[in-house]
Structure 1
Amino acid sequence: MAVRVQREDFDIGAEVARLTRGRTDVGAVVTFSGLCRGVTGDETIGALTLETYEAMAVAELSRIEAEARARWVLQDALVIHRHGRMEPGDNIVLVVTLSEHRAAAFEAAEFLMDYLKTNAPFWKFEDKPQGGGWVEAKETDDKAAERWANS
């Protein structure tokens, strides 16, 4: 398991190759990568700035990663979340789950992403030509995460 919170970009293919190299116990690899959008609705986004306290973010992400391992049989998992200023097309987040079977890998990845969207300690500021602003939490993200509280 690994959790990284960093300013630097990451290479998705290299991260997956590192996790799977020499493994014969893995039957499924699920990846989710989140990118900085250049448009949201009908508004242009010039850049996105993510703020966090690294130690707090690592602790929280490690806690939820441990919960994913308790819920599903995973051979490994990786969560990388960037912070700082990002431009459209830049990588923001990567979640990789490895399991013997696909169901566990898919469900664990979805669980981790739902948590990241709702509870991870990151604050987003969008720079837009029409004026920037802090991004508010979305009710749809909260509803997606609620299902895990009851399962």
Structure 2
Amino acid sequence: MTSVHASSAHPGEQGAEEPIRLLELRATPLSVDEVHRAVGDSAAGGTALFVGTVRDHDGGADVDALSYSAHPSAEAELRKVAEKVVADFPVRALAAVHRTGDLVVGDLAVVVAVSCAHRGEAFEACRRLIDDLKREVPIWKHQRFSDGTEEWVGAC
């Protein structure tokens, strides 16, 4: 999949770096440090970061493993989500990376971060980013349970 490291003016700011710094779906392990570095900005007083991990249970059942699948439009939809967050909040920098493929309990599934001038804005923008990503980006989770059952989450 592709990553974004663009450099263009943010609305209302001449010569500012593009606020959407990293967007990617990948089948390789995620790095909190990579996402945190991507949103570094000297004008940001607050950075909010969310890390989603594979847990060992869901709905009362023990989870052994899971896999994520993404629709071919997922990266374009992720960009739309990111652009909306940037339009609605005073974002200095934004990054979002989501895993695809097979994961085990404890693996990082998604890492998102937002930096803004103030902490409250950063918290709100980060919350919107992860909530909209989970709701709008076509990524599906296939969970396998200890009792031999399985389920798809997010599939239409």
TM-score normalised according to structure 1 size? 0.82
How many equivalent pairs are there?
A: 134
Corresponding position of 1:101:
118
Among 36, 40, 56, the alignment partner of 1:38 is 56
**Correspondence 1:85-96 to 2 at 5 A:** 85-96=102-113
Q: List structure 1 runs of 4+ shifted beyond 3 angstroms.
A: none
Q: Distance in 2 between matches of 1:86 and 1:120?
A: 19
From the two aligned structures, give the one with the greater strand fraction: 2
From the two aligned structures, give the one with the greater helix fraction: 1
Q: Distance in 1 between matches of 2:34 and 2:81?
A: 24
Corresponding position of 1:142:
none
Deviation at 1:119, TM superposition (A): 1.7
1:47 aligns with 2:62: no
Cα distance, 1:115–1:18 mapped onto 2, change above 3 Å: closer
Deviation at 1:87, TM superposition (A): 0.3
Q: Distance in 1 between matches of 2:139 and 2:38?
A: 27
1:5 aligns with 2:29: no
Q: Distance in 1 between matches of 2:132 and 2:34?
A: 25
Deviation at 1:41, TM superposition (A): 3.7
Deviation at 1:117, TM superposition (A): 2.0
SS in 2 for 1:45: strand
CA deviation string 1:99-151 (max 9, x = no partner) = 001121111111111112222101111011221121258xxxxxxxxxxxxxx
Q: Distance in 1 between matches of 2:153 and 2:69?
A: 12
Query: What code does the residue aligned with 2:28 have?
Result: E
CA deviation string 1:33-71 (max 9, x = no partner) = 100111124311010111113x41110010110000110
Deviation at 1:10, TM superposition (A): 1.7
Corresponding position of 1:79:
96
Show structure 1 runs of 5+ residues with no match.
138-151
Matched-pair contact (CA < 8 Å) for 2:94–2:114: yes
SS in 1 for 2:78: helix
Q: Over the residues paired in the alignment, what is the CA RMSD in angstroms?
A: 1.5
Q: Percent identity?
A: 26
